[in-house]
Structure 1
Amino acid sequence: MSLWDDARQELDIWANSKLKARFWIRDDDAFEVSSDLERLRNVAVRFDTKIGLAIIPGKITPGLQEFLAENIQHFYPMCHGWKHINYNLGKNPAEFGPDRPISNMIVDAEFALQSFKECFGSSQPIFVPPFNRITPALIKALPQVGFAGVSLMPNHIERKLLQLNSWMKWGGIITMPRFKDGIRIDVHLDVIDWRARTAQNTKIVSNLLVQQLRGRRLGVVPVDTPIGLLTHHLAHDEPIWRAINETLDFLRSHESADFIDVGQWIDGNSAAPQYG
């Protein structure tokens, strides 16, 4: 019995319903060219996908801009905070968390955007908060700063709603509220077990995948909302690299799983309301 059987059965239902599930990959904490980044590029080549690369603008080293220009078909730059500093010492780490004055965070976001655009010239810059934490006040301010949208992880309430729906299969009864502050394109499946600092258990990833798929099929989330796989190339050991390849092998093998070009998706959804 495969650990992916439940996810495969759910995707089979999608296939029987003539539905396509959309997927994408976001990799965090990029700031330099390294053998790990080159290995990530090879993953993008092997699986024929463009990876959203969350780049720390305040830490960019020479060579990264040129590397990404040479690999434009494999990576889509995204703005990963400003300097990836943890200001919440003793608490859950965050660079843009609730303990900082909003004015200070807006200034940092402005610096980040200026530096990011100087390097990559994006007309639709997406803000990716370091440590996947951000105060709602800054989310609302980001469009005025000049960001087109954000890439987050579902919050506690959103995760619980999807989990409950996955158990109860309440199609059409629960729906996520619409996101009104620009584009939102999230990640949902983290391949890393951060406590153990190695690969997440495959069954956990498969169960989360089932929840995300079922939530879309039953209308909790719009069916065409992309499902995001989260990676951190600088933190990968060999089991994590294997887990990424196994997950992508599974998804690429199914007729109902499609990978989006993240840049094209963002351009095409700039005026559309998002869930969140």
Structure 2
Amino acid sequence: MTELVGDSARLLSARLQVIGLWDDARQELDVWAASKLKARFWIRDDDAFEPSPSLERLRDVSVRFDTRIGLAIIPGKITPGLQEFLAENVHQFYPMCHGWKHVNYNLGKKPAEFGPDRPISNMIADTEFALHSFKECFSSSQPIFVPPFNRITPALIKTLPRVGFAGVSLMPSYLERKLLQLNSRMQWRGIVRMPEFKDGLRIDVHLDVIDWKARTAQRTNVVSDLLVQQLRGRRLGLVQPDAPIGLLTHHLEHDEPVWHALDGMLDFLRSHESVEFIDVGRWIADNAADQPCIADK
């Protein structure tokens, strides 16, 4: 009996410690609530190409937390089984085009399929192949390009609307991350603004649940700090206030601590009155209507 009491006390202590790690984020969200603001969130999961137990588990996360996940699919590797799986789970996943074949051409450097070392003509051809293959599998009229390894040369971004992509999903640049970090500390209000993106839609991811060096879950305090930076950046005008905050996952790379951390973050966010999760497909359709016409290829 004494051992059971001791185990219960340790579990409670551990849970309280985890809850405490979200305190700064909770306080920032409380400011949003007091100002009657809504923080919008979404989830993007990368590297899908076939059904798997991990993808089924991600589907269960979508159902449990009532959110539609943007699924970045590698069109050059997609299997018929994935098409069937997604046809059965249209309310849980919104397909997005994840490069062409997810090949790293920057050997010896930071990995990239569409980095600056490749001829632009080759990369444009690959995006055209990718779009054709993607549209054969999915009927999306507003395809979003997700560059593998979250890297893409700016010259290619400018060509994506002409190829036929409605927009792009990236991670913030180093400059954007530093400005958000400084803004969170200095509390600039209206003094600095991020440049407007003019090459179609942009719907980014900002918080990675994986620590890639350790190959396991990112520490909760690190994610909480990044969350505060994103929220303050929007509340203080550095970033468009209604720009969705993206959570990044990779279902094939998740160990148990990553699944646990994802549940914990979503539990925390869903519990706050100022948080809402967007339907990514509906958000893209609504915002694409405000963009210039894109050639249908």
TM-score calculated relative to the size of structure 1: 0.98
1:57 aligns with 2:72: no
1:221 aligns with 2:239: yes
The answer for the alignment partner of 1:42 in structure 2 is 60
Contact 1:49 / 1:259 at 8 angstroms: preserved in 2? yes
Inter-partner Cα distance in structure 2 for 1:61 and 1:120: 12
Q: 1:264 aligns with which of 260, 282, 286?
A: 282
Inter-partner Cα distance in structure 2 for 1:222 and 1:181: 16
The answer for the alignment partner of 1:193 in structure 2 is 211
1:140 aligns with 2:154: no
Aligned length: 273
**Residue-by-residue CA offset, 1:191-219 (whole Å, 9 max, x unaligned):** 00000000001000000000000000000
The answer for the alignment partner of 2:263 in structure 1 is 245
Percent identity between the two aligned chains: 80
What one-letter code is carried by the residue in structure 2 that aligns with 1:149?
G
1:161 aligns with 2:179: yes
TM-score calculated relative to the size of structure 2: 0.91
Contact 1:183 / 1:272 at 8 angstroms: preserved in 2? no
The answer for the alignment partner of 1:7 in structure 2 is 25
Greater gyration radius: 2
Inter-partner Cα distance in structure 2 for 1:186 and 1:62: 28
Inter-partner Cα distance in structure 1 for 2:221 and 2:265: 11
Question: Could you say what secondary structure the match of 2:21 adopts?
Answer: coil
Question: Could you say what secondary structure the match of 1:174 adopts?
Answer: coil
Question: Could you say what secondary structure the match of 1:58 adopts?
Answer: coil
Q: 1:232 aligns with which of 250, 258, 271?
A: 250
Inter-partner Cα distance in structure 1 for 2:38 and 2:205: 18
The answer for the alignment partner of 1:172 in structure 2 is 190
**Residue-by-residue CA offset, 1:20-60 (whole Å, 9 max, x unaligned):** 00000000000000000000000000000000000000001
Inter-partner Cα distance in structure 1 for 2:185 and 2:32: 18
Query: By how many angstroms is 1:270 displaced?
Result: 1.1
Cα root mean square deviation, aligned: 0.8
The answer for the alignment partner of 1:94 in structure 2 is 112
1:130 aligns with 2:157: no
Structure 1, gaps ≥5 residues long: none
Inter-partner Cα distance in structure 2 for 1:55 and 1:159: 26
**4+ long deviations beyond 6 Å:** none
Question: Could you say what secondary structure the match of 1:204 adopts?
Answer: helix
Question: Could you say what secondary structure the match of 1:57 adopts?
Answer: coil
Map 1:14-29 → 2, pairs under 5 A: 14-29=32-47
What one-letter code is carried by the residue in structure 1 that aligns with 2:169?
S
What one-letter code is carried by the residue in structure 2 that aligns with 1:55?
I
Inter-partner Cα distance in structure 2 for 1:88 and 1:263: 32
Inter-partner Cα distance in structure 1 for 2:220 and 2:21: 7
Contact 1:7 / 1:207 at 8 angstroms: preserved in 2? yes
What one-letter code is carried by the residue in structure 2 that aligns with 1:83?
K
Q: 2:200 aligns with which of 173, 182, 185?
A: 182
Contact 1:86 / 1:94 at 8 angstroms: preserved in 2? yes
